[in-house]
Every structure is written in structure tokens, then in C-alpha cells.
Amino acid sequence: MRKIFVALMVLLLLTGTACAEKKSAWSPEMRIGLTSGVKRVELKVSAACVLIDTATGKRLSKIPAEKKFVIDAAKLKVDTVEVRPKEIRLQDLQTTIDGKKFFGGVRLNKVRDTLTVINLVPTEEYLRGVVAKEMMPSYPLEALKAQTVAARSFAMKNRSRHETEGFDLCATTHCQVYDGYAEFDAVNRAVEETRGRVLMFKNKIADANFHTDSGGMTENVADVWGTYAPYLVAVKELLTLGEPWTVKVTAKDFSAHMGEGFGEVKSFKLSPLTIGKDADDRSSSGRVKSMQIVGTKKTVKLTGADLRLKFSLPSTLFDIKLDGEAVIFEGYGRGHGVGMSQLGAKAYATDGWSYEKILAHYYRGAQLKKVY
């Protein structure tokens, strides 16, 4: 009797461990668009794989580990194929695509006579790559954790943003920067210790935007993209004012950007900048909503975003002046200013704040929840 009991306990312990391992390793699979319009792609997998016809699930061929092979659009007989591991889990596979290593496998969509290359990657492995690119891996751990949760929330919220192109997210700043495989202990730890955690608002995953440096105060999402989210409101930085910047343009160059019939720049009509103070032409954080530019032949009205784009300004939180033959922009912050400031997160983490506290500061009223 006792023997049976012990054997049962051992069995329970074993299956319990196996289940826990399996559960902790899984995360939703993301399809990350890497390139499109290519004629061929060279692949190499870290473990034995199979080439599958996505539409039917049929195995087309076996792919040995560590051996380069080429898929040619012209020779491909089916619309979509994917490379998946034969025996191991997707999160344990790495695929080298045209010389660059990625987590997970790959899908190739045939579009006329070219290929769209899509990385099939579990969310947690994708985040290891994203966080390493979006934030300096040398930043304090709690800042990296806040960044991970923001990136995970953003990815899950914006999934299928590129559905018409056949994938979930792209790998550029349009979605989130993902440059494939990355191994940084601190980043891996940040991902593991926040596993499956996202920001939610009213039971929906929050659109956790982030940027480099708020310059002293973040921005209402409505003042940047015209959308509304109660958790994306302007909040003051408590520890850092961010880094000031200066951009100088010659008056001649500036005038040339004002369109035909403008003449030469004479003066500007814009309320002076005070961070955290609004005006008719400035948002509640002080960012430029719009301003008038007086020329010798006419006056033009431009938005802060227009000016940022035209002169590659780091942000729209600026003052402008005409100084002889030069137009000088003096401002603070880098990026759109919506949601978490990475520089701010670093300052708070250095000061001893937890990632939960950092997130609560930037995403007002959003709650942290574990979704897997």
C-alpha cells in the first residue's frame, strides 16, 4: 500500500513538473514581417525542421539542422510555406534568414513571383529582441521590466495591424523595432520576470505607447494622433527634465520649406514655451500645436508636427527664434511624447521605483494583469 502511495506521489510530482514547464514556456505566436518583394531567401535552422504547406498542413520536405538551403519564389509550387521544428518547441528554435539569426521559424508568402518573409516567433522570444533594441540593455532592471510590459501590451494590442500584408507586426519603428535574436542577461530577466503581464484598461489590453524622452512632461494622445485613451494623458516628470536640444537652420533654407510665394522669413507668432503650461497654440504639456510664420510675401500656419517633420526636430516641445541669418529651434525631449518616457523610466528605476510604480505613473488608471 505504502509503495503504491509513494509511486503515486512520484508520478504526481513528475507530471506536475512537466505541466509547469510546458505552461511557462508557451506564449502566443507572432508573425513579424521582415521583408517583401524578394526573389529568394537563404535559410538555416538550428535544429531539424519540416517545410509545411501552410494551407493544407502537409509536410513538403525535411530540413536538416545547420545546413544552408534556398527557397526560390519562382520554384515554389504553393502560396505559403513555413519552416517549423520537427521535434523541439518553436521557442527553442533559431532560424538564420539571409545571414541574420532570428528566434523561431519562418513563413514565406508568395506574392506574384516574389516572397514576403515572415518570422514566426513566440511573443516572449520576440520581446527579448524588441526590448534589446528599444531600450539600452544597460538600463536598470525595473526600467527594462517596465519597457517589456509596455512592448508586450503594444504588441498584443496591435496584433494583426498588418493583416492585409499577411502578418501581425512589422519590425520597424512603425510597430516596434525588432532586429531578431538577441542575448542580454538583463533583458532576458526582465522578460522572464514579467512573463505574460500586460497593461489593461477596462478589461482590454492597453495601447502602451512609449518614446525616448518626454522632455519634462508626456503628452495627451489626443493632441498627437487625435485618438482618445484615458490612460494616455499628459503627466509631469518628477525626477528628470530630459535633455535639451538645439536645431539650427539657415533662414534661406527655412524659407524654402515654406512653400511658393512665401518670400523670406520675417518673424514667428508662437507663445513662449513653459513646460506644463498650455496656450491657444500649445498643448497642456507645452508642445507646439500650431504656429504662424510670417514671411515677406505671406504668412503661413503650420502644426508642430509639420515643423518636426520638415526639419527633423527631435520633438514638438520647442521655442523658435530668428537670429540673423539663422532660424534656431530650442527644445526638450525626443519622440512623440505619448505614454512612457524611457529616460524617465530609467530615472525612476535608478531612484528605486518598481516597474509597477513606473507603469502606474505613465499609464494612468491602467492595471497590470497576467494574461498567460
CB of 161 to Zn ion, least distance (A): 6
Tell me, by CB under 5 A, how many residues bind Zn ion: 3
- In the complex, minimum distance from the CB of residue 263 to Zn ion, in angstroms, rounded to a whole number: 40
- Nearest approach, Cβ of residue 170 and Zn ion (Å): 3
CB of 166 to Zn ion, least distance (A): 13
Q: Which is nearer to Zn ion, 170 or 305 (CB)?
A: 170
CB proximity list for 68: less than 8 A, separation 6 or greater = 42, 43, 44
Q: Measured between alpha carbons, how far is residue 302 from residues 190, 273, 290, 312, 330 in Å?
A: 42, 17, 5, 15, 17
If the CB atoms of residues 51 and 175 are measured against Zn ion, the closer one turns out to be 175
Q: 284-323: which residues touch Zn ion (CB under 5 A)? A: none
Does 369 engage in binding with Zn ion (CB under 5 A)? no
Q: How far is the CB of 35 from Zn ion (least distance, A)?
A: 13
3-state secondary structure (DSSP) of residue 6 = helix
End-to-end CA distance of the chain: 39
Interface residues for Zn ion in 150-189 (CB under 5 A)?
Answer: 170, 174-175
Rounded to a whole number of angstroms, the minimum distance from the CB of residue 76 to Zn ion is 25
Q: Which is nearer to Zn ion, 32 or 73 (CB)?
A: 32
CB of 96 to Zn ion, least distance (A): 23
How many C-beta atoms lie closer than 10 Å to residue 101's C-beta? 14
Give the span between the Cα atoms of 282 and 160, in whole angstroms.
34
Contacts of 98-104 spanning 24+ positions with Cβ under 8 A: 98/41, 98/42, 99/42, 100/179, 100/180, 101/180, 101/181, 102/34, 102/129, 102/180, 102/181, 103/128, 103/129, 103/180, 103/181, 104/29
C-beta of 282 vs 336, nearer to Zn ion: 336
| Amino acid identity for residue 311 in this structure | F
Cell 525626443, residue? Answer: 334
Which residues sit opposite 40 in a β-bridge? 72
Cβ closest to Zn ion, residue 145 vs residue 159 = 159
Measured distance CA(52)–CA(59) in Å, rounded? 5
> Closer to Zn ion at the Cβ: 178 or 181?
178
Nearer to Zn ion, 135 or 170 (CB): 170
Chain residues in the site for Zn ion (CB under 5 A): 170, 174-175
